Structure 1
Amino acid sequence: MAEVELETDEETANFSIELDTDGCNTSLIDRFLIQLTFNNKYNYTAILAYISCILSIALNVSIFVIVVSDKTLRKKGNNVFTGSLALSDSFFSVAVIVLVSICRAEREMMFLYTFTVCLTFAGISIQTIGVVAIERLLVVVIFPFKRNINTPKKMLFVCFCIWGFSISFACALLITHKEDEFGFIMSIWDVVIFVNVYVSYAVIYLVVKNHDKKVSKFRTQEFNTSKKLLKTFSIIIFTCTVCWMPIITLTVLDYFDKLDCNKTIYPHIFNISFILALAYSIANPIVYGLRINELRNAIDERFISLRNFTIAQ
């Protein structure tokens, strides 16, 4: 067994983490914890995490406040998902800041609980994205002429179910001491959700494209609805895949011991994947928030009001 000693520039903090010499008795998450524990100014993973989380909190809190405070936005059911997504991403970023701040070997249980909280809010965010895809599929394809499918009250109930299920599931795993399997379970569940997103948006695009062809026969102007949808769906699918699939893949492979534990490159790849996952909470306000015309108009109104107030002062 070997001792890992970590020294900072200002002070020396010596403590031991029992590791096998070849590192094969530790999971990828444990090795990630060890790297985060290097508490010095050159810990670029922690620095990038702080920057990403602060930016994410600023964007998502702004989106959430605008959605909640604007009556016009609250009248549309899909904006409820936008607000819920912004709230979960904000909590996720706060939890990551706490995780990076308290990450010390002598605080193993606190790290475990905080890491579980991070996974829980990340799961809520991803599930919300999956539900948004299902909601679009219901409105556009399955029930295109039926009203009141996505009323704000119904969508708010769905959001409460997502939050309640995720938090209850995380608590149940902690109570039964199955927290080590939480990352693997969430990874598999996230893959299922992403497949649902890919399939739902593919079906929507094909249906709309077919509709555009039929309508174009009777109109002089070309219909580009399907092209706009293709652009939007491509952005959503691209951000989902790039930001989350690397860390999901590593987690699943590590669970089945498919990674060579003697190679030190995997913790570094996990660090990059961790930062990409944080970047997704920054991308969500742009992809799901700022692309909504009503939300952009509400933001413009807030800035104009703030500017007028500043001039008046």
Structure 2
Amino acid sequence: MATIQNTVTSHPTTWAHSAWNLHRNRCRRPYSRHILLKVAVASLPSLLTLRTGQRHYRGRSVRARAIHGLRMRLPPGATVYLTGVAQELEGEPCEVLSFDRSGRWLVRFLHPRFRERAALVPEQCLLFGYCIQPEHATSPASLSTSVVLVDTPRAGRGLEVVEPMAAGSSLFKEMPFLLTANDVNEVCRAHLKMRAAAGKDDSQGKALEAFASLSAGDGFDAQALARVQAQASEVWQAMNFGRSEQPDAAEIRNLAAVLLRWEANRSVTMSGA
């Protein structure tokens, strides 16, 4: 797994609309105010070039490698959010399709009211959210001949060096099957998307199984465990904002387990790296 650090550092807290529910965003990531999203397609800001005659459908089982933009590199199919375009479109989720010769990204709006329409968006108006690449979940890592994969009872899977290696040598190479912004909400969104799609899409099911097979180990101290538990509770509250339901202890434990696996196995890279 890989975590991508967006270069934009702060945004005002707003109401959030996600694929599964209307909720309050707790992490200062910009999202749309759902009540205001009665925007006619014809009234989209001039900053966007709308592709009204095209429809783009989901279901691609094989993703290409990352697309190079001006400074960003984004995988096709990644979920991104609009920012700085218009107030009524702030935080609108979109799917990355391609990079245009004009220097803008072609993205497809995910909300049903846009009816699968796409638009060309300047790169500075996009924030990366997450991307699931299920084809990489089952592809084996390329290991150096000097290391072997082992299972340990305490820390799970690991690499054991079986012969001397020079400093700077490559131990293994693998493609990440899950990319997220450095944001616990995006991690949980990606996991819930995998979980929701697993019953209909075998590749998503394999990605979910690959994530579940990751070990969190036992290296987290009490303070770290309490922090993750608090984050899971906040995510659950955000997902269920406006409802009168009591906290679901089982679901909160599940979210905490997801965040622990993410913390224990992720690597961090800067956006566009």
The structure with the greater share of residues assigned to strand is 2
TM-score computed with the length of structure 1 as normaliser: 0.24
TM-score computed with the length of structure 2 as normaliser: 0.26
The structure with the greater share of residues assigned to helix is 1
